[in-house]
Structure formats: structure tokens, C-alpha cells
Amino acid sequence: MTSRRRVAGARARALDGRRRATLPVADHASPNLEFANGTPYDEYVAAQALHGLQRPVTDVPEERAFLVTTQVMELYFGLIRSEWRLAQRLLDAGEVVQATAVLTRSVRYFEALNASWAALSWLTPAQFNSFREALGEASGFQSAMYRHLEFLLGNKSEPLTRPHKRSPAVYRELLDALRRPSLYDSVLALLARRGFELPPPGDPAAEYAPNPLVEDAWVRVYAEGGPGEELWQLAEALTDLSERFSDWRYRHLMAVRRSMGAKPGTGGSSGLSWLERSLRREVFPELWSARTRM
């Protein structure tokens, strides 16, 4: 626990019954306007620190919107990673209903994340070009937190960890995520424990490859279950998650297409064609192919 969180926890515990009695409770009461230090709101939210993180590298006004939107997305990446890790722990413990609730919650976060692209929908090529050169080689492709999401979904790739070698702590975390079972691995392990015939676990660091036995398992889940059955609900939550993630990729593709066309990416990728290839990589592929057989 960080020192800031320890201080916040201590202050929360200090807010006992006697102090609470001094706080305004009536609808017509005036808010407390005097504090010994900074406002409790800022101490908890760290608003000043957050606003201090916007450091545009140009005087172009459009850059700030680009920067803020990107930072908001990074915060959502971290939140979603935390939720998926929790869901994975619950699945490993056999707590299917609780894991499904967490996954469903993360779908809502993805809806907000995907809506963030609307904040840049007005960005024309001329406006983007007015500050693009100042970004140097910076690219969303280099987001370590986004890479964590890809790895949790089973889209593993060791070469994509290499841009982070100069940041030892970040690099170690990514390598650990690469080598650990994915969220989908945990789902399939649960199905295997429930008696479904599934292929033996493969190398967790390898990119996930579809398997007919997994498709058979999902066909059976839907054939034998219904809206009140926990594996059926888990399957639907995963399908929602996969759909929202595809939405994210598509919106990313369209934002790039709208603001820079088919130019090469700032990070050295092929830009639009790279995103088009990524869009074709399905998440939880058997949940989709099984629908053809239902």
C-alpha cells in the first residue's frame, strides 16, 4: 500500500461518530468550506496531479484534446486489466457467478472506453498533422497497459514486449503476463473441470489457436443451458466482451483512417493496414464459430 493510501485510510478511520455528527446533514445545510490542508476531494482523487499530467509538446490547441483522450483511455485500460485479473482469480476458484458479474461490469467500462473515440471524431488530417511531427516516434502501439489487455485475451506475442526493454519494471510485468495463462485459458480450464472434453493446455506464451473441441464445448453449453445457467451466462458475458473489444479495434481503425488516412504510423508500423490485420484476429473465436452449429 502506498503512503498516500495509508494516509487516506487513516483519515477515513478517524472520521468516527463524533466527527460525523459535526458534518452538515440537512438538505439546507451549507457545505464545509474550511479544511486544515487541501480538500479531501483532491487528496482522494488527486485532481491536481491528474491535471498536471497534461503536458502538450506544441502550442497547437488540438493537441490537448488528443492528449487528454489518450490518457483517459490509459486509465480505462488499467481499470479493465484489474477487473479481468479479478475475474480470472474467481474462475480459477470456481466462482463462476461472481466472475461473470465482474466480466459484465468490464463490458460497461469498454462501452465508456469506446465512446472516448467520439472526442476525436472532429480531428481532420490537417489538424492532426499540425502537431503529429512533434510526437516523434510515440504511438499507441507502444501502450504497455493495452498490451496487457491483449495478453489477457490470449493475443500473445513476445516481440511486442520488446519496446519496453528500457523500462525494466514494465518489461518484467509484460513478460510475466505473456507467460501466465490468459483469461480464456482460465475459462477453458473451468470447462475441463466441469467435465467437458478439451485439448490439453498448451504453452501459455503462445498465441491462442482455435480448436474444434473448444467449439464443441460451447455448442454443448448452449444446448444444455439457458439464461438461468451459470456457464450459459458466462458464455454470453464473454461474447459481449469480445464484441466490445472488436468495437474498440474498429473505432481505432476508423479514427486513424479519418485523421491520417493510410500514412505509416508514428511508431513505425504500417498504420491502417496493421490495424486492419488486428481487427481480423478474433477474441474467443470458438464462441463465434459455435453459433453456426446452434
Binding site for substrate: what residues are annotated? Answer: 132, 266
Binding site: what residues are annotated? Answer: 132, 252, 266
Q: What count of other Cβ atoms lies within 10 Å of the Cβ of residue 109?
A: 15
pLDDT at position 1: 46
Residue 210 backbone class (left: φ over 0; alpha: ψ -120 to 50; beta: rest): beta
pLDDT at position 226: 85
CB 271 within 8 A of CB 264: yes
pLDDT at position 211: 96
pLDDT at position 221: 97
Q: For the chain, how big is the Rg over CA atoms in Å?
A: 23
As a whole number, mean pLDDT of residues 28-54 equals: 89
- The tens digit of pLDDT for each residue in 105-164 reads 999 999 999 999 999 889 999 999 899 888 888 887 799 999 999 999 999 999 999 999
pLDDT at position 183: 98
- pLDDT band at residue 16 under the 50/70/90 scheme: low
CB 214 within 8 A of CB 286: yes
Nearest of 7, 158, 170, 5 to residue 74 by alpha carbon: 170
Q: How far is it, in rounded angstroms, from Cα 232 to Cα 225?
A: 6
For residue 190, pLDDT over 90 is answered with yes
For residue 217, pLDDT over 80 is answered with yes
- pLDDT band at residue 31 under the 50/70/90 scheme: confident
For residue 23, pLDDT over 80 is answered with no
Binding site for heme: what residues are annotated? Answer: 252
More confident residue, 274 or 219: 219
CB 58 within 8 A of CB 134: yes
Q: How many Å from the N-terminal Cα to the C-terminal Cα in the chain?
A: 49
Kindly list the distances between the CA atom of residue 219 and the CA atoms of 104, 242, 248, 287, in Å, as whole numbers in the listed order. 21, 17, 27, 8
Q: Which domains does the chain have, with CATH numbers?
A: 3-50 (no CATH), 62-293 (1.20.58.480)
For residue 17, pLDDT over 70 is answered with no
Average pLDDT value over all residues in the chain: 88
Which of 15-29, 53-67, 134-148 is least confident? 15-29
For residue 167, pLDDT over 90 is answered with yes
Residue with the three cell numbers 465482474: 102
- The tens digit of pLDDT for each residue in 221-263 reads 999 988 889 999 999 999 999 999 999 988 888 888 888 777 7
Nearest of 137, 13, 148 to residue 76 by alpha carbon: 148
Give me the count of residues in the chain. 294
Nearest of 179, 147, 151 to residue 164 by alpha carbon: 147
